[in-house]
Amino acid sequence: MSLIPTFAEPFWLLIGCVCCVAVLFFLLLNTRRRKKELEKFVAPKLLRGLTGNVSRSRRRMKNIVFVLGLAFLFLALARPQYGERWIEVRRKGIDILIGVDVSKSMLVQDIKPSRLERSKLAIRDFVAKLEGDRVGLLPFAGSAFLMCPLTTDYDAFTASLDTLDVNSIPKGGTDIGAAIRQGAEILSNETNHKILVLVTDGEDLSEDALKAAEEAKGHNMTVYALGVGTPEGELVPAPEGQVGRFVKDEQGNFITSRLDEQTLASLAETTSGLYVPLGNMGQGFDVIYERKLSLIPQEEHGQRRRKIPIERFPWPVAMSVLFLGVEFLLSGRKSELALRLPFVKTAGRRKKRSATGLRLGLAITALATLATLSGVLLPQAQASEGEELFHAGDYVGAEAYYQKKLENEKSDPALYFNLGGALYRQEKYEQAAGAFTQALLTDDLSLQARSYYNRGNSQFFLGASAAGKDKEQALNLWNEAKKSFESALKLEPEDKAAAHNLEMVKKKMDQLKEQMNQSGQQSDKPQEGKEGEQKKDEKQQSPEQQKNQGEQGEQGEQGEQGEQGDQSGSPDEKDDAGQQDQEAAEQQEKKEKQQPDVEQNAASEAEQNKETPTAEDIQKAAAAQEKQGAQPDKDKQMSAEDIERRMMGKMTEEEAKNLLDSLKEEQGELNFLPQGGSNDSVDKDW
């Protein structure tokens, strides 16, 4: 336990010192100004008698007490901390075993300072960003061994990493297969996801890596590869003590080590992993974590106790209230029992009361400020406690804390945002999305943007979990995620993470729609599928399109239909026109239940825009149809009234009904941003 108090916000101490000195200077000038004003109106020999009831010592005491009250006020703002207390922390994360190549080829300096040193620096930076994930260290060359078991003690891991060099493994060479097998053995007892990250130049001298990767796949282990070096490569320098010399083979030729990206990519692909070049700044680790590792569900690693400082700011707050109260009650005059002269109202006393009123106002303002701070500082300290739990990985404890806080502060968007983060880390995506929605009720546009971003991530994972069971629900959830990311971009157009996630959601939606379309087509019988599609097209097309279909159908019942934009169907038609339209409607309703809306061709663009065909278009379609003599069988079955309407260039009753039905099925959507409130932040995700 430390015996020296600390301050969470020490800059308030500096501000307090400046303010207290300024107040003392102001009070001193005010005292001198009052004395000079009195000397202008009262003779010096009368001044002592008229001001005999004024106590200079009490006035000095009032000034000192007032300044002390302000000093303790700023001391409270600095948040003094003294002592420590223990809290239970639940850690959640994933297990990451890092395999580092320490063969002599890692001494090559095609990236600075060398392949091995660059790898160590990148691993150090990567581990510094982790929160709750366990990491282990597996160096390998001609063989492999575990140097640091999986641990959350990042200092111990870094200490082991610093000792790595090309002499860490006695057996020379590069056996990536041995590293993979050793990693599979180490992770065999882990219930968490088995992850091995290889940091190597890919020159496998044993040629056994792909076979080992196949075995690792059977053990449900995923291998991620980071390539160190350049494809051009450089000469392998000799070990220490032989400066300026390079390694030679048995024939006396210098050995050039090159990055083998093909081998590393094959290893990663075999185990459904990912290959990424390490890069000159070690950015490869960030790419792998953002694209893959951050999406892996986290598991609880157990509990541990953690020390946190105890907030002591209530004490200086109480002292500030005490001193300001004493200053308010303390009079600047002598006790009335010691007065021999009657109380006389003079101009000097009236000015004194004015000055007293000013001091009274300052005291009331200070007390009001203290009352506000006593209600603000404590929640801030408690909020910092919740953040401590969150950053320590105790997401369950953080959730319970924020839920309790929301019982008293139900309209605080920041608390809802923090609650959503705790729920998100526990994979309670539906509840997290609801919390982020509540966080949108804020005037802070930055918080709104982050809430939209985080809500989009939650909705994306909800859709991903529903994709295997209910594709329609997954599509709707991904559509909501797309809207959330779009809203985030409207508030912060430069947000690259939101733009990236938006594109990803769109791709996922397109893939899911394609799967739904394929499954819907396979579920129908071949002939019925053709007829249903043809009849649906006839119902949605304009008369000009129907005329084109008639021209193509006239070329032969068994012939293939010509080009009609993006639509196709069978030219066969039933004899009864009424039965044909009824079956087309039933088939269309069946297909709409089985699959989402599909894109229509360019010819039906007017219908997509909710525009009805013009009279000129209808007349042209009817004239062309009459000229070609299209659909003779169908025209015979039409009523005389319908034939007459066709001759006049008008739509038949059935065609008009079908067109209106298709327009009723289309619904517009109004996307808007609420003014001055919730709008489209939310933290890095998908």
Do the domain assignments include residue 364? Answer: yes
Structure tokens at 34: 């009052």
Are 268 and 51 within 8 A, CB to CB?
Answer: no
What's the mean pLDDT when you consider all of the chain?
Answer: 72
Lowest-confidence pick of 94-108, 283-297, 384-398, 445-459: 384-398
Q: What is the mean pLDDT of residues 218-240?
A: 86
pLDDT band at 2 (very low <50, low <70, confident <90, very high): low
Tell me the percentage of the chain whose pLDDT exceeds 90. Answer: 17
Do the domain assignments include residue 682? Answer: no
Query: Beta partners for 306?
Result: 87
Interacting residues of 476 by C-beta distance below 8 A, sequence separation 6+? 463
Residues 238 and 360 both lie in one domain: no
Interacting residues of 414 by C-beta distance below 8 A, sequence separation 6+? 383, 439, 442, 447
Residues 224 and 207 both lie in one domain: yes
Q: What pLDDT shows up at residue 584? A: 38
Structure tokens at 96: 């990451």
Residues 162 and 14 both lie in one domain: no
Q: What is the mean pLDDT of residues 486-503?
A: 89
pLDDT(393) > 70: yes
Q: What is the mean pLDDT of residues 47-73?
A: 80
Directed axis angle between helix 56-77 and helix 347-391, to 10°? 20
Lowest-confidence pick of 138-142, 178-182, 444-448, 597-601: 597-601
pLDDT band at 618 (very low <50, low <70, confident <90, very high): very low
Q: What pLDDT shows up at residue 280? A: 83
Do the domain assignments include residue 305? Answer: no
Q: What pLDDT shows up at residue 263? A: 87
pLDDT(667) > 50: no
pLDDT(97) > 90: yes
b/e 465-476 (16+ beta carbons within 10 angstroms → b): ebbeeebeebbb
Residues 43 and 102 both lie in one domain: no
CATH number reported for the structural domain that contains residue 120 in this entry: 3.40.50.410
Do the domain assignments include residue 686? Answer: no
Among candidate residues 236, 234, 210, the one with its CA nearest the CA of residue 223: 210
Q: What is the mean pLDDT of residues 76-99?
A: 84
Q: How many CB atoms are closer than 10 A to CB 659?
A: 19
Q: What is the mean pLDDT of residues 366-385?
A: 52
Residues 470 and 321 both lie in one domain: no
b/e 515-536 (16+ beta carbons within 10 angstroms → b): ebeeebeeebeeeebbbbbbbb
Peptide bond into 113 cis (omega under 30): yes
Q: What is the mean pLDDT of residues 184-194?
A: 80
> Which of 521, 542, 566 is the endpoint of a domain?
521
Q: What pLDDT shows up at residue 246? A: 80
Are 285 and 126 within 8 A, CB to CB?
Answer: yes
Residue of higher predicted confidence among 667 and 293: 293
Among candidate residues 66, 33, 45, 25, the one with its CA nearest the CA of residue 352: 33
Among candidate residues 169, 227, 233, 236, the one with its CA nearest the CA of residue 198: 227
Residue of higher predicted confidence among 593 and 525: 525
Do the domain assignments include residue 601? Answer: no
DSSP per position, 77-140? HT-EEEEEEEEEEEEEE-EEEEEEE-SGGGG--SSSS-HHHHHHHHHHHHHHT-SS-EEEEEEE
Total of domains in the chain: 4
Q: What is the rounded CA–CA span in Å between residue 197 and residue 180? A: 10
Q: What is the mean pLDDT of residues 477-502?
A: 90
**Cα dihedral sign for 428, 430, 433, 435?**
negative
Q: What pLDDT shows up at residue 643? A: 67
SS (H, E, C) 518-530: HHHHHHCCHHHHH
3-state secondary structure of 279: coil
pLDDT(686) > 50: no
Q: What is the rounded CA–CA span in Å between residue 448 and residue 414? A: 10
CATH number reported for the structural domain that contains residue 513 in this entry: 1.25.40.10
Do the domain assignments include residue 414? Answer: yes
Q: What pLDDT shows up at residue 512? A: 86
pLDDT(610) > 70: no
Q: What pLDDT shows up at residue 35? A: 78
pLDDT(681) > 60: no
pLDDT(207) > 80: no
Q: What pLDDT shows up at residue 228? A: 92
Q: What is the mean pLDDT of residues 532-548?
A: 39
Q: What is the mean pLDDT of residues 585-610?
A: 35
Residue of higher predicted confidence among 98 and 427: 98
DSSP per position, 399-431? HHHHHHHHHH-TT-HHHHHHHHHHHHHTT-HHH
Residues 132 and 264 both lie in one domain: yes
Residues 32 and 77 both lie in one domain: yes
Residues 23 and 122 both lie in one domain: no
Q: What is the mean pLDDT of residues 662-667?
A: 47
Residues 151 and 231 both lie in one domain: yes
pLDDT(306) > 50: yes
Q: What is the rounded CA–CA span in Å between residue 560 and residue 179? A: 60
* Global pTM value: 0.41
Q: What is the rounded CA–CA span in Å between residue 621 and residue 603? A: 13
Residue of higher predicted confidence among 683 and 145: 145
pLDDT band at 123 (very low <50, low <70, confident <90, very high): very high
Q: What is the mean pLDDT of residues 217-242?
A: 84
* Domain containing residue 428: 394-521
Do the domain assignments include residue 683? Answer: no
Lowest-confidence pick of 63-67, 247-251, 416-420, 432-436: 247-251
pLDDT band at 200 (very low <50, low <70, confident <90, very high): very high
Residue of higher predicted confidence among 37 and 147: 147
Structure tokens at 402: 């924020």
Residue of higher predicted confidence among 391 and 379: 391
Residues 53 and 147 both lie in one domain: no
DSSP per position, 554-569? TT-SSSPP--BTTB--
Q: What is the mean pLDDT of residues 509-535?
A: 63
pLDDT band at 376 (very low <50, low <70, confident <90, very high): very low
pLDDT(442) > 70: yes
Do the domain assignments include residue 560? Answer: no
Q: What pLDDT shows up at residue 636? A: 41
Q: What pLDDT shows up at residue 137? A: 95
pLDDT(526) > 60: no
Are 169 and 125 within 8 A, CB to CB?
Answer: no
Q: What pLDDT shows up at residue 669? A: 36
Residues 120 and 223 both lie in one domain: yes
Residues 114 and 220 both lie in one domain: yes
pLDDT(215) > 70: yes
pLDDT(408) > 60: yes
- State phi, psi for 629 to the nearest 5 degrees: 70, 40
- State phi, psi for 575 to the nearest 5 degrees: -75, -45
- State phi, psi for 163 to the nearest 5 degrees: -85, -5
Tell me the percentage of the chain whose pLDDT exceeds 70. Answer: 63
Q: What pLDDT shows up at residue 101? A: 92
Q: What is the rounded CA–CA span in Å between residue 132 and residue 556? A: 71
- State phi, psi for 35 to the nearest 5 degrees: -65, -40
Q: What is the mean pLDDT of residues 233-259?
A: 76
Q: What pLDDT shows up at residue 98? A: 95
Among candidate residues 379, 395, 360, 267, the one with its CA nearest the CA of residue 313: 379
